Structure 1
Amino acid sequence: MMYGETFAAWRAEAAQDWHAYTHHPFVEGLKDGTLPREAFLRYLVQDYVFLIHFSRAWALAVVKAGTVAEMRFATRALDVLLNEEIALHVATCAREGIDEATLFAAPEAVQNIAYTRYVLDAGHSGDFLDLLAALVPCVLGYGEIGLRLASSRGNASYGDWIETYAGDAMQTACHEVGALLDSAVARRLGPSPQASPRWDALSQRFATAVRLEIGFWDMGLTG
């Protein structure tokens, strides 16, 4: 229940895939410093492209929101993505000689297309809950990964990346996203959400996004 009751339930239902995502060889390479720099930069370039589409998904969340509070939250998330998290990628890649124009023009990997279009389709074809179910594996998974890697006191080669996701700002954001999810579920599914006929489909949306996260790490690791 680190990031809320709904997340804890969906995480448990997708336990095997969740472990494969949060303990992927790419992640373990970040922890011990063995991840090849080429793989990390390939991931950063694709993650920049991913975050552009992820920003569009949070913009869509404003449209799909059912309350002003939900609209304000989605707007803040969009601002953080565009003006803070993307800046990490731009700065890291700039140190490696890759400018933002190159990042924006980078061809999308098929794993990137599959994941980002799935998230956007969840929002376009479904409601606010469908969109959140597809969005939260990225947000909360990275928060969990950041905390675990920071506590391991491993190699410092990727310390900046680890600190970004283990840091107070990210952890606060994760708790807020978890609370938003719980509130949105309670508002739409009632006090016993797991008894709702929608629960299984939403849980499967979450699980599908988790599997797409695994594919994204695969892409970063092997191209």
Structure 2
Amino acid sequence: MKFSEQLQAQAKPIMDAINKHPFVEGLAKGDLPKEALISYVQQDYLFLKKLREVWASAIRMSKNDEQVRFFWGIIEVILDAECDAYDAFCEQAGVKMEDMKNAIPSPKAYLYEAHLDQAVLSGKMFYLLAAFAPTPWTYLEFTRHILDSDADMTNNPFKPVLDFYLNEENYAGPTFKFIDEMAETATKEELAEASQFFLKTCELEWQFWEQAYYQQDWHFKEVLEASRLEMTK
């Protein structure tokens, strides 16, 4: 069994929970609370800005042209195509995208960003790829789960979003390929650490849906926002 297949098998309980999450089920039904959509867009917009920084670091860490092209391609997608999904969510929520860009990262998003920073600071591409892989993989898996189910997509306003998420195959597949190549020369300790990075990211993906659906945020958010406003005057 390839190492990437082992990772996916280990993550099955988390992936099953993502498939059953009320936010993901809402995508399948075409019905989600306005507040959940707004929370998701705000936090994901900030998170993708962080991913740009992560992949800029990955380009510097790359060992060959294939890796450089791959990571640069991800940056281009983050800069452009992801907006299509945001537009669909904002339209359903009745808000404008430009009003979604000034949020503060939620505690879960803050933890997710710190987790990726740890992978970058390790200086090991193997760990960074393991930490990133669940991002396209979980989206691809729950989208396939929805489209393979009996859910009626005829009038589902999120169908274009789900079609867009199928493009994650373009990133999940190559990421797992790189991981398997590096796993061939990795030590047992490195394999174990890579597994931890992968599984923690899977958990954080579940947490991301959780915090969006239930609008989980800083308890003293008003204090944070007031301080930011005061310090930027």
**Shared fold (TM-score, shorter chain, > 0.5):** yes
Pair 1:48–1:89, CA change in 2 (3 A)? farther
Asked whether the 8 Å contact 2:85–2:161 carries over to 1, the reply is no
Pair 1:162–1:72, CA change in 2 (3 A)? same
Superposed displacement of residue 200, structure 1: 1.1
Matched, 1:212 2:210: no
The total of aligned residue pairs comes to 210
TM superposition score normalised by structure 2: 0.81
TM superposition score normalised by structure 1: 0.84
* Aligned mates of 1:145, 1:158 — CA distance in 2: 13
* Aligned mates of 1:63, 1:153 — CA distance in 2: 45
* Aligned mates of 2:20, 2:173 — CA distance in 1: 21
1:170 counterpart residue number: 168
Give the aligned residue type for 1:88.
Answer: D
Pair 1:131–1:199, CA change in 2 (3 A)? same
Superposed displacement of residue 136, structure 1: 0.8
Give the aligned residue type for 1:33.
Answer: G
Which stretches in structure 2 are left out of the alignment for 5+ residues? 216-233
2:226 counterpart residue number: none
Asked whether the 8 Å contact 1:65–1:71 carries over to 2, the reply is yes
Matches within 5 A, 1:27-38: 27-38=24-35
Matches within 5 A, 1:77-156: 77-85=74-82, 87-92=83-88, 95=91, 96-100=94-98, 102-155=99-152, 156=156
Which stretches in structure 1 are left out of the alignment for 5+ residues? 190-194
Pair member with larger Rg:
2
Pairwise CA RMSD of aligned residues?
Answer: 2.1
Asked whether the 8 Å contact 2:37–2:90 carries over to 1, the reply is no
**Which structure dedicates a bigger proportion of its chain to helix?**
1
